[in-house]
Homo-oligomer: A and B are copies of this chain.
Amino acid sequence: MTDLVTFGETMLRLSPPEGTRLETTETLDARIGGAESNVAVAGAALGLDSVWLSKLPDSPLGRRVVRELRAHGVRPGVAWDDDARLGTYYLEHGGEPRGTNVIYDRADSAVTTVAPAELPVGVLDDATMFHTTGITPALSEPARATTAALLERASAAGATTSFDLNYRSKLWSHAEARDTLTDLFEHVDTLFVARRDAEAVLGRDGEVVEVAHGLATDHGFGTVVITRGDHGALALHDGEVFEQPVYEADTLDAIGTGDAFVGGFLARRALGGDVDAGLEWGAATASLKRTIAGDLAVVTPEEVERVIDEGDGGISR
């Protein structure tokens, strides 16, 4: 029995030291990141048996991805490609007003030729949850088709399927995203969506509760979770509305915060928590992530519980 299966691309993440620009840096921090493996890592950190499905180059760079995910307790289910390249992204953190800039170098990566038959999809037959995001179908037609096939198979096998809309303007337009994603929603039980994406991509504006109701009604989602940045998250589940403020954090690295939220939510749900508890875990995991360099939520259930109970950590000695 696997608790959580995710599917998507994991990239090499290269970032210069704080205060240094990509144009001038002589060293790059090398880590890995990808929305779906970020969720799998957060899930594993919080107690789930997590599997990540993807395609990688059969090279030191591809093996590096597997190695790091294994370290975080995720079991990789990987199709290997002798010739393909590893998707890469350059991340330059900058204080305001400079902001954080991401340069993708992910075209023609291994995952763009993925097909369901290459993946150990049997794991879905015995999985509690399947999760993917709106980034994957934007990568290539094969990635889109595999996303659709996996959602359908997971759904058919009785897994709860979830989907984080995660619009990326550097990959496709609002219109392209809308057309593709709404087709995929057929086999999605739980939608995670940022409020601004609900409006920009799905054309939903108005009160956030109305947006949630509209999405649930039109696409048949059992659960809709809308994230609103500093204003916290709102979930609609079985007609009931739940609200969750953010836990304040000293942000060192904001990348991966949304994935940590999803991972925390799914972990609590998979472990039997209700939607309220899921939102708390999601928000607490997200706030802890902000204090950690890299995409990944290296946290423990005890730390998540402490944030929920006490708010902050002080000095423990």
**Which of A27-35, A114-122, A138-146, A236-244 is the contact stretch?**
A27-35
Q: How far is the CA of A67 from the CA of B251 in the complex (A)?
A: 25
Mark out the residues of chain A between 228 and 264 whose CB falls within 8 Å of any chain B CB in the assembled complex: 247-255
**Which of A93-101, A123-131, A156-164 is the contact stretch?**
A93-101
Is A101's CB under 8 angstroms from B28's CB? no
How near does chain B come to A289, taking the closest CB pair, in angstroms?
9
A179 at the interface (CB under 8 A from B): no
How near does chain B come to A283, taking the closest CB pair, in angstroms?
10
A108 at the interface (CB under 8 A from B): yes
Q: How far is the CA of A69 from the CA of B94 in the complex (A)?
A: 23
Is A95's CB under 8 angstroms from B252's CB? yes
The interface residues of chain B lying within 8 Å CB-to-CB of A86 are 105
A206 at the interface (CB under 8 A from B): no
Given contacts A29-B27, A95-B251, contact A315 B67 (CB under 8 A): no
A272 at the interface (CB under 8 A from B): no
Give the one of A67, A169, A249 with max B CB within 10 A.
A67
Is B23's CB under 8 angstroms from A26's CB? no
Is B28's CB under 8 angstroms from A26's CB? no
Is A67's CB under 8 angstroms from B30's CB? no
The interface residues of chain B lying within 8 Å CB-to-CB of A21 are 60, 292, 298
The interface residues of chain B lying within 8 Å CB-to-CB of A95 are 249-252, 290-291
The interface residues of chain B lying within 8 Å CB-to-CB of A102 are 315-317
The interface residues of chain B lying within 8 Å CB-to-CB of A18 are 252, 293
Chain A interface size, under 10 / 10 to 19 / 20 to 34 / 35 or more: 35 or more
A312 at the interface (CB under 8 A from B): yes
Given contacts A60-B103, A317-B168, contact A96 B298 (CB under 8 A): no
Q: How far is the CA of A314 from the CA of B169 in the complex (A)?
A: 14
The interface residues of chain B lying within 8 Å CB-to-CB of A315 are 99-100, 102, 254-255
Mark out the residues of chain A between 157 and 190 whose CB falls within 8 Å of any chain B CB in the assembled complex: 168-170
The interface residues of chain B lying within 8 Å CB-to-CB of A255 are 315
The interface residues of chain B lying within 8 Å CB-to-CB of A72 are 67
A68 at the interface (CB under 8 A from B): yes
Q: How far is the CA of A228 from the CA of B312 in the complex (A)?
A: 19
- Given A85-B107, A102-B316, 10 extra CB contacts under 8 A: A19-B292, A19-B294, A20-B292, A23-B63, A26-B29, A60-B103, A61-B103, A86-B105, A97-B248, A99-B312
Please list 19 pairs of residues, one from A and one from B, whose beta carbons are closer than 8 Å in the complex, sorted by A's number: A14-B28, A19-B253, A20-B293, A23-B63, A25-B30, A26-B29, A60-B90, A60-B101, A60-B103, A67-B71, A95-B290, A96-B250, A96-B291, A97-B249, A97-B284, A97-B307, A101-B313, A102-B316, A102-B317
Interface residues of chain A, those whose CB is within 8 Å of chain B, are 14, 18-31, 59-61, 63-64, 67-68, 70-73, 85-86, 88, 90, 92, 94-105, 107-108, 168-170, 247-255, 284, 287-288, 290-294, 298, 303, 306-307, 311-317
